[in-house]
Structure 1
Amino acid sequence: MYLRFGKRLMDLLLASLGLLLLWPLMLLVGLLVRIKLGSPVIFRQVRPGLEGKPFTLYKFRTMRDLHGSDGAPLPDRDRLTPFGVFLRSTSLDELPELFNVLKGEMSLVGPRPLLMEYLDLYTPEQMRRHQVRPGITGIAQVMGRNALPWEERFRLDVWYVDNLSLTLDLKILAMTVCKVIRREGISQEGQATVERFRGSGVSGGGSENG
């Protein structure tokens, strides 16, 4: 019952309340992004949603638009500014995702929406993380956020799918507040952001603007 009706109702109520209360802060953040990083203010990227169907994710921009002599974007560590690090560490960059929640593309709680290119790399078990709407926060985020290895993040995501409940969602939301205040697990060790997923049992360089 909660999965079919209650979860969506809670998303609508809390996302609407969040936008009503936070719009002055979002306006201020947007203005600062425009001044410090330029345009566009909103970072848009296609991500897989429920059942892997694509949708456009909205976040505040945290990186400069810098390219090398070959025309390719510079590494994240070169494009991520102190202001961008602050936005990520406080999760202020995630606030526009409340609009994704209102549109029904995301939930407040669920597995984080990753990159479309990862869909072909998942095992059948890992693919089960797409049986629910992706979330602004999730069990993997409160258990270690980006500092967790990929395999552990996916294991937690599937565990969430199998154990989803109102009590669990409320617990994750409460734990998320604590994590944000402490600014824990923002990135993996040695990475400016988070190491790119290369497939189960495979590691490699590069990172994603997640």
Structure 2
Amino acid sequence: MRLVAVTGGIGAGKSTVSRALAARGAQVIDADATARRVVDPNDPRGPRVLAQIAALLGAEVLADDGSLDRERVAAVVFHDEELRHRYNAIVHPAIMQATAEEIDAHRGTEAVVVHEIPLLTADTAALPWTYDLVVTVEADAEARVRRLQDGRGYTREHAEARVRAQGGEERRLAIADVVIRTDGSPADTERRADELWRRLTA
């Protein structure tokens, strides 16, 4: 098994690169999907994690069906750093455990496992696994803002705030083995993904 991190800021194109690698045969673990799963009421971890979140943020962050209203959570914690840290202290251990299980399921195989993980930087706390390769996907801030407006319906103000909150790319570049810039054409991104795939399977 080869374990590859694909990271980058919001709107940079992580998912585009991960999909390109999946099309070539990679097994993709999407950190955002894992984060949603551990707060799913139907997941074995879900009820316990949801109860802790409701105790911290209030029952109003839960939808009528008992699921987590992620927009309400974001509205509560986005501007409160201390509260955001306390929220992360609840959900991160569950995410780490679930991710480790997903990775372990591929051990002993020859799979290329891509972990699509946002904002992996030189400042990220030690993880329970080690990557064989770290890829960061980057694009200039203006391109990212436009993508958030066009693809997710963000207002320009909201898009700029999300990009700005994640800081610059320097701390991601500090740990990257490979940098893929998506400022160019889709064909150029596909070409870079193809080059990466050949490296991973050489």
TM superposition score normalised by structure 2: 0.26
Higher normalized contact order (CA 8 Å, seq sep 6+, divided by chain length): 2
TM superposition score normalised by structure 1: 0.25
